[in-house]
Structures are given as C-alpha cells and as structure tokens.
Amino acid sequence: MSTLDSKIPEGPIADKWTNHKNHIDVVNPANKRLIDVIVVGSGLAGASASASLAEMGYNVKTFCFQDSPRRAHSIAAQGGINAAKNYQNDGDSTFRLFYDTVKGGDYRSREANVYRLAEVSASIIDQCVAQGVPFAREYGGLLDNRSFGGVLVSRTFYAKGQTGQQLLLGAYSAMSRQINKGKVTMYNRHEMQDLVLVDGKARGIIARNLVTGELERHSAHAVVLATGGYGNVFYLSTNAMGSNVTAAWRAHRRGAYFANPCYTQIHPTCIPRSGDYQSKLTLMSESLRNDGRIWVPKHHKDVEAIRSGKLKPTDLKEDDRDYYLERRYPAFGNLVPRDVASRAAKERCDAGFGVNKTGEAVYLDFSAAIMRYGSEKAHTSHIQNPSNDQIRELGEKVIEGKYGNLFQMYEKITDDNPYKTPMMIYPAVHYTMGGLWVDYNLMTTIPGCYAAGEANFSDHGANRLGASALMQGLADGYFVLPYTIGDFLASDIRTGKISTDSKEFEEAEKDVKSRLESLINNKGSKSVDHFHKRLGKVMWDKAGMARDTKGLQEAMAEIKEIREEFYKDVFVPGSVDEFNPELEKATRVADFLELGELFAKDALDRNESCGGHFREESQTEEGEAKRDDVNFAFVSAWEWTGNPSESVLHKEDLKFENIELKQRSYK
C-alpha cells in the first residue's frame, strides 16, 4: 500500500514552482523521441497537454470518445477565464488570485498547487492570444475584462458567452498542428476501457474502437488522464451526455486513489426540468443574478393557481411574493455564493413553493431591473413624464444589451419570453471538484499515471470559483504536466518500446472483453437509462444539495441494490463488435453505479459542512454551513479494495501556512 506523499517542494510559496522546475530531471531531446505518452481526453487539459508534450518531442497518442477532439465538453463553458494580469490596475496579483481561490474553495485545497495555478495564469492569456483566440477587446484594441463570482477585482477574460469554445478551439488547433507534424496520433471515437500496469507502472490502456467495436492495446511510458468530471452520476446535470467517469474509475480500480468524491458544485441558475423525459440541463450564466430578483409566492394557494395556469406570476401582488434570498441574507441578497443560493431554492421548493408543474422551479425576475434601467434611460434621454410602457420598453433594450443571447437561449428552450414574464430557474449539478488524487507533479498513486484538469482534485477544494475551471485545465495541460512528467520519464530513456504482447496487456484485454460480453449477453428487461435515472434520483435526493447521516446511509444501500439489479436485469441491444451506443452507455453507467456509492460514503464520512458539501448535522444556529477545521482539514483519498463500501480512507492533512482559515458569512 502506498502512502500519500504530496511532494510539495520546500521553500517559500512564491518560489516553490520555480525551484521545483529547476530541479526536475530533464529528458534530452534525442531521448524524448524514444518515449511515448498516452493522453486520454481532448478537452482543455488533454488537448493542451498533447500539444505541449508533442512540441517537447515526446510521441503522443491522444484518445477521445467523440467523433472529433473539438467536441470535448470544455467547449460549453460560458463565462470566462481568470488570470492575474492586473490589466485593470485594480490591485490584482498572483497572491490575490491564490487567496481568492483558496478561500472560495472553503479552505479544502492544497496551497502549493493553487499558488502555482495563480502563477502560471498570466501565461495562459499570452499563449491563447498568440494562438489567435479572439478574446473580447475594448475600443482601444486592448483586452477587456469583467468581474465574476464575487471577487473584488476584474480579472476575467472572455469571448462573449463562448469562452470555453474559443479556448478549446485554440488548444485543438495547437494539437492539430502537431498531428500534421506526425507528433500526435489522434484516435477519435475510441474509449479507454482499462489502464494497464506493468511492474506497478502505468504502461498503457485498452481502448475500444467505437466504430468497429474492436479492442485495441496501446502502450506508452506514461498515461495522462484528462477525462473531465463525473457530474453525470446524477443523471441530470449540465455535463454533456457522454461525459463519464470510466477512465478515472478504471484507474481507481487499478490503484489510483480517488479524492473527495463528494465535492460537487450545484449551480443555482439552470433552466428547470420540464418533464420525466428530460435528458440534460442547461446553465444560464450566473451574471444574471446581478439584475434578477429571486422569489416564490408567499402562499400555497397562489402556488396552486400558478401551477394550474389560473394565475400569472406578473399578476401576483408584491406583498404576496417571498424574495427569500433578500429576506434571509439582507447583506448579500440575490448575490450570495452559488452553494448558498442553491440550497435556499431547494428549501423553498421542498416546502411546496416550487412554481412549475414539477414543483422544482423558482422565479428570477427582471421586471424591477427593467423599470429601473428604463427610468434612468428616460432621464438621460430627457423624456418628460414617460409612461410606464415607454419606461418598460427602454428598460428592455438595456437588458437586451447586457443579456440578449442568454434571454434568447432561454426563450428557445422554454418558449417563454423572459422580458415579459419572470424566468424560471432551479439548481443543477455542474462541476465536480473531487477526482483522482494527485501529488504536486499531477501524478496519481500509480507511478506513471497522471491526472489533469477536472479529472484531478487538487485546485478547487470544496467549491470552485467562477472562471477558474478553464484556467486550471489549460494550466495543467500547457504549463505544468509537460514539465513535471519529466521527473518520471527521465528514468525511462533506456526502457525501449513497451510491448503490448505481455501477459498484463493480455489479461487486461480479457477482462474488458468479458465485461462487455456479459453486458450484451445479460438479456435483461430494462434499458441502461432506466438504471441511470434511478441512480440519479437517489444521488439527487440523498447526496445532493443537503446531506444527513440517515439519507447517506440509505443512499449507499439503495445504490448497491440498483447496481445488483443492473447486473441482473439490464438489456443492452446489438453486439460487442459493432457501433453500439447503448453498450457505451452501459459501461459508463456500470462505473457510475460504483462511484455513486463511494460518493455517498465520502459524504457520510465528512461530518462537516464545507463548500458544495452541506451536512445537516453541521450548521450554525441560523442554518448556515459550519466548517470543522479541527477535525476535517484534510483531503479524503480513497483506496479501492474490491467494493465501494469497503474502500479504505487515506488522509492528506492540509497545511495553511500563507492563509488564515476563516468561517464564511453572507448575512
């Protein structure tokens, strides 16, 4: 059993990364040509790592399950990317970005990793601009910034509401250049099914060609997993349909510890579910809370009337509305952090005040902002005694200028006009802070197996700040991993090509084959989605926004039951050796059914509230989250022992030498 050595370099925090880079073993260029690296995943972390590693001279093989690497789900990120450039001269610095990120993570991240992230953030912007990423600019031709997610400086770079798309296409183009040079071999429509260990080191993967169904053996001297998060364990989330935990979970089963699985970010402003057929949820940028007021009716009779269509929300009198965030948090009002806003919406809906037919929606109302902006505009345009209709029209124009594309997206999906009637929103699973445990070099507990981007756990603690995910993915891929991997690969210059004829590859392939065949041959009576939906419901009800001992114990037992039933009664049509999307889903859901149980176990073990993890047993008298630094200032890293409920906990104590721990308050 390995012990957790985070390998944090010695010295003051500001010098750690530089010192570390100076002492990492460097592989000479001629020898790099003798070394192969596998990268699984082609999102921000995977594509940028592939490009950088190939440029350095390594032979890279990159895998993605989509039909093109450009489709990885990083592409859907809306808001922006943080960087401590201080272009706005508002006092931003590496230290301030570091501080905000550690505090935002509710003091559950590793200081040294976060500092490094802040340190390389500025290079990311330089790199992306050099690649031709069209960031928003001011009229003077320089880059524009906006502020984001409750921080006090303006450090977010953006490309309208499509920042993730532009950054991913930048990384994709850098990788395409290396594919053209023959330094990266790209495997589209290939999914990793298992990790292969030879002499205890990660030396390759078994991948399934999703078009032909063939199993392929691929060897390398190191394997990088950049396979994203596991939010789809909840079935409904803002993740893409194909986002899954399989690559990370297979590595976990081979010995990589899984860290903090219970840390999930539930985003407060998503478009609510409209029925049981719902397949995924769509995010509306959190910037909307700057101008929208959140409310539900005060009385149940009005809720009933609204649900049955007898009453319009716009006809409800002010006195009959409950602006619950303004009522509970007068200081921050509608601008409380994501976790607080999400829990408050759930509380009202659980109490029966949800405003749509599913009972899971609250209003986000722009009418006050429309009238306020309208009056201002009338005033500055010198319109005497404007009518209410005139004011409303002027105000709607202002709102359109600010949020036009979001309002249009909302209307496309719901067929409601949010200028005329309040938006309906509800929280949804968005991001997972937990992931494979990694040391300072981003190496998991399996030598030679690395994890980058959302797939690892290291930088966001228990809660991620807005515009930090893109920063972390590109930092890991462009600037961290390509250097730190040298530490491991330096000893491999004489190893030579790794053979795929070894018994380790043979056994791994046999394992995968029998797993796939048993799913196909099961011939049960229920679809994969049937089980996935049931798992999602248990996760949402009992391991979602608020958790308690009883619910988590029940969740563990219920997930185990669903898993057992899955293996008895799942029906997967078609065959193993063909293009078979249902079989792909089945392998992913099988792994979610194990992860889900570990998730609940981790949440049960962490008897404190922190960030996205709210434990009913750990709250203040006012019902706010109460962190417990004395007993829980550690990373939970779980070791697989053959059954999720019997996983063994290893703790990495978190030391805060540069930042003082404080309780958060928003009253």
Partner 1 sequence: MNLTLKIWRQKNPSTKGEMKTYPVSDISEDMSFLEMMDVLNEELITKGEEPVAFDHDCREGICGSCSMYINGEPHGPDRGVATCQLHMRKFKDGDTIHIEPWRANAFPVLKDLVVDRSSFDRIIQAGGYVSVNTSGNSQDANSIPIPKENADLAFDAATCIGCGACVAACKNASAMLFVSAKVSQLSLLPQGRVEAKDRVLSMIDQMDDEGFGNCTNTGACAIECPKEISLDNIARMNREFLSASISK
Restricting to residues 189-218, name those near partner 1 by CB under 8 A.
Answer: 211
- 444: contact with partner 1 by CB under 8 A: no
- 17: contact with partner 1 by CB under 8 A: no
Nearest to 35 by CA among 221, 246, 225, 207: 221
Cβ 377 to partner 1 shortest distance, Å: 24
Which residue do the tokens 């979602």 mark? Answer: 544
- 59: contact with partner 1 by CB under 8 A: no
Selected from 277, 318, 389, 642, the binder of partner 1 by CB under 8 A is 277
Strands 59-63 and 184-187: parallel
Q: Where are the alpha helices (DSSP H) in 332-387?
A: 338-350, 367-380
Q: Distance between CA 162 and CA 164 in Å, rounded?
A: 6
Nearer to partner 1, 78 or 609 (CB): 78
Catalytic residue among 155, 338, 343, 606: 338
- 40: contact with partner 1 by CB under 8 A: no
Residues numbered 373-412 forming contacts with partner 1, rule: CB under 8 A: 412
Residues numbered 214-273 forming contacts with partner 1, rule: CB under 8 A: 240-242
Residues numbered 583-602 forming contacts with partner 1, rule: CB under 8 A: none
Selected from 4, 31, 55, 372, the binder of partner 1 by CB under 8 A is 55
Cβ 537 to partner 1 shortest distance, Å: 17
For 399, the token pair is 């709102």
What is the strand order of the sheet 36-40 is part of? 184-187, 59-63, 36-40, 222-225, 449-451
> Per-residue string for binding with partner 1, 543-582, x by CB under 8 A?
----------------------------x-xx---xx-xx
Instruction: Map 395-451 to HEC letters.
Output: HHHHHHHHHHHHHHHHHHHHCCCCCCCCEEEEEEEEEECCEECCCCCCECCCCCEEE
Residues numbered 142-161 forming contacts with partner 1, rule: CB under 8 A: 142-143, 159-160
Residues numbered 84-113 forming contacts with partner 1, rule: CB under 8 A: 85, 87
Rounded to the nearest 10 degrees, what angle do helices 581-605 and 549-569 cross at? 160
Selected from 31, 88, 154, 282, the binder of partner 1 by CB under 8 A is 282
- 66: contact with partner 1 by CB under 8 A: yes
Residues numbered 452-511 forming contacts with partner 1, rule: CB under 8 A: 478-479
What is the strand order of the sheet 215-219 is part of? 190-198, 201-209, 215-219
* DSSP summary character for residue 570: B
Selected from 179, 215, 369, 424, the binder of partner 1 by CB under 8 A is 179
Q: Judge whether 547 counts as a catalytic residue.
A: no
Residues numbered 411-430 forming contacts with partner 1, rule: CB under 8 A: 412-415
Contact 198, 252 (CB under 8 A): no
Buried b (16+ CB within 10 A) or exposed e, 273-285: beeeeeebbebbb
Selected from 13, 37, 60, 120, the binder of partner 1 by CB under 8 A is 120
- 22: contact with partner 1 by CB under 8 A: no
- 628: contact with partner 1 by CB under 8 A: no
Q: Distance between CA 497 and CA 519 in Å, rounded?
A: 34
How many residues sit close enough to partner 1 to count as binding (CB under 8 A)? Answer: 78
Selected from 94, 188, 232, 636, the binder of partner 1 by CB under 8 A is 188
- 67: contact with partner 1 by CB under 8 A: yes
Cα separation values, 133 from 24, 127, 172, 427, 477, Å? 31, 9, 11, 31, 17
Residues numbered 518-537 forming contacts with partner 1, rule: CB under 8 A: 527, 529
Q: Which residues are known to be catalytic?
A: 338
